[in-house]
Amino acid sequence: MALKQQMKQSLGMTMTPQLQQAIKILQMSVLELQQEVNNELVENPTLEEVHDEMNQRSSDTEKKDGPESKEADNQLTLDEKQAYSQLENSDWGQSKIRTTKNTPIDSGAQYEQILSKPSTLFDHLMWQFRMLSTSTEELLIAEEVVGNLNEDGYLQVDITDLATELKQDLSSIEAILYKIQRFDPSGVAARDLEECLLIQYEMLDEDDEVEVIIKNHLKELETKNYVAISKALELPLNRTISLCQVVHSMEPKPGRAFQTNDAQYFVPDIYVVKLADKFAVVLNEDGIPRLKVSDDYKQQLDSGKFTGDTKSYIRDKLKGAHWLLKSIYQRQRTIYRVTECILEKQKEFFEEGPSALKPMILKDVAIALELHESTISRVTTNKFVHTPHGIFELKYFFNSAIRRSDGEGDMASSSVKLQIKELITTENTKKPLSDQKIVDILKLSNINIARRTVAKYRESLGILPSSKRKKYF
């Protein structure tokens, strides 16, 4: 069997750097796009920011097929042209897009709504220690102890290792730790839950049985097995429940009050607003610099002023600039089209709210827009839309279907989760609803799902099972 060489011509799509850039930009959020555009303005001398909106439109949209664009297109390889043709959709013009540049959207936060920085657990504890001691050596030890507390207020370092590191006696470390543990909040700097609760017990001066419960029955306390605790203590059940109530009133996470839990603020990539009696899609372009390709560099390149490596460098930069503009344009209009399609298919959601969400999958939008499912997935990932009912990730609108037994139409899984959450929120806390009971209640609304499905949805909502939701007092 002999080895032979032969030439074969075939067509195929290659992932060129330009196509990779287009895909990367398609996946970016509005904040990431702002950063990318600012970086390109610094790195690419042929890109310019347009401050006049009208000039920008003529540069970025109306002239996209002008001579300079054709010049850049002539530099493209056959593979690049084929790849770009996959992205381009010429029958859908920029003029149809509403943006925050031409549609006023009031979403800015006022300065008076911005809070000052809250006090941290470290600051609070060190302030108390400075009121107690001015010794430089003790302050150093205290800073090391307090600096090794986690956000719940528990000590995360072995004091023996701390003594070795600071070259101090273990007794000195323990003495300072003892003082800190008696600071406010009570139980801070404990090494485990039992120690934390015992410190608080000491400060509360409660009955001895409370100490016994903390030392020996924390597991039963967690599962609310008060009968077992009652038998072990040889006390009436009512008395046992009363003692357990004291333990439940303690703070298992002393540092909780100092956790900032700052709200996460998302910048919407797109708005759905109601104008007159109709909903409209508005792209968020605030903060994104308007770009155009420098006329000076194009003219100097055409005049032959640049030669050799300089000419190649400028040509590559011009080509990159055109691709960047096309990629941004493609990103904006693809997001716009996808949101318009979601608005059309989920109109009841925008009218009524999350309870009216319909089942929908990526394939539904992909078929409607004649795009690949992977493109829809990239567009909807890490993109947020501002609606009359709040800010949602675009992926929120894609849900699996739950069939109704009466044949009236499928429900979205998110709507079922919402119903489960509402049922548990309004339940009798002394007789919480079991998963099977929730199944039976949903059947009355012609929603047939298995008990394990209810359990899965409940866990995804962060809701405990009925045995742990039950309250005795």
Same domain, 148 and 250: yes
Residue 151 lies in a domain: yes
| Tokens describing residue 234 | 């040889």
CATH code: domain of residue 426: 1.10.10.60
Higher pLDDT, 263 or 18: 18
Same domain, 303 and 413: no
Cβ neighbors of 139 (< 8 A, separation 6 or more) are 126, 129, 130, 133
Instruction: Give the single-character DSSP code of 184.
Output: S
pLDDT band at 413 (very low <50, low <70, confident <90, very high): confident
What 3-state class would DSSP assign to 94?
helix
> What pLDDT was estimated at residue 455?
92
15 backbone dihedrals φ, ψ, rounded to 5°:
-80, 85
Distance of CA 283 to the CA centre of its chain: 20
> What pLDDT was estimated at residue 61?
44
pLDDT band at 386 (very low <50, low <70, confident <90, very high): very high
Q: Is the per-residue pLDDT at 62 higher than 90?
A: no
**pTM confidence score:** 0.62
Distances in whole angstroms, Cα of residue 232 to Cα of each of 208, 226, 242: 14, 10, 15
CA 434, 436, 441, 442 torsion-angle sign: positive
The average confidence (pLDDT) of the chain is 82
Same domain, 208 and 297: no
Residue 451 lies in a domain: yes
Instruction: Give the single-character DSSP code of 195.
Output: H
Give strand pairing partners of 27: none
Domain count, the chain: 3
* Under 8 Å between Cβ of 234 and 219: no
The lowest-confidence range among 28-42, 81-95, 104-118, 263-277 is 81-95
Q: Is the per-residue pLDDT at 4 higher than 60?
A: yes
Please tell me the distance from the alpha carbon of residue 77 to that of residue 210, in angstroms, as a whole number: 79
Range of the domain at 39: 17-102+289-330
pLDDT band at 31 (very low <50, low <70, confident <90, very high): confident
> What pLDDT was estimated at residue 144?
93
Same domain, 93 and 30: yes
Same domain, 73 and 134: no
- Residue-wise pLDDT for 334-379, tens only, equals 999 999 999 999 999 999 988 888 889 899 999 999 988 888 888 8
Same domain, 313 and 426: no
> What pLDDT was estimated at residue 239?
93
Same domain, 251 and 298: no
Residue 422 lies in a domain: yes
Same domain, 92 and 139: no
> What pLDDT was estimated at residue 262?
59
* Under 8 Å between Cβ of 415 and 356: yes
Residue 216 CB neighbour total at 10 angstroms: 14
* Under 8 Å between Cβ of 35 and 96: no
Same domain, 85 and 190: no
Q: Is the per-residue pLDDT at 438 higher than 80?
A: yes
Same domain, 133 and 225: yes
What 3-state class would DSSP assign to 412?
strand
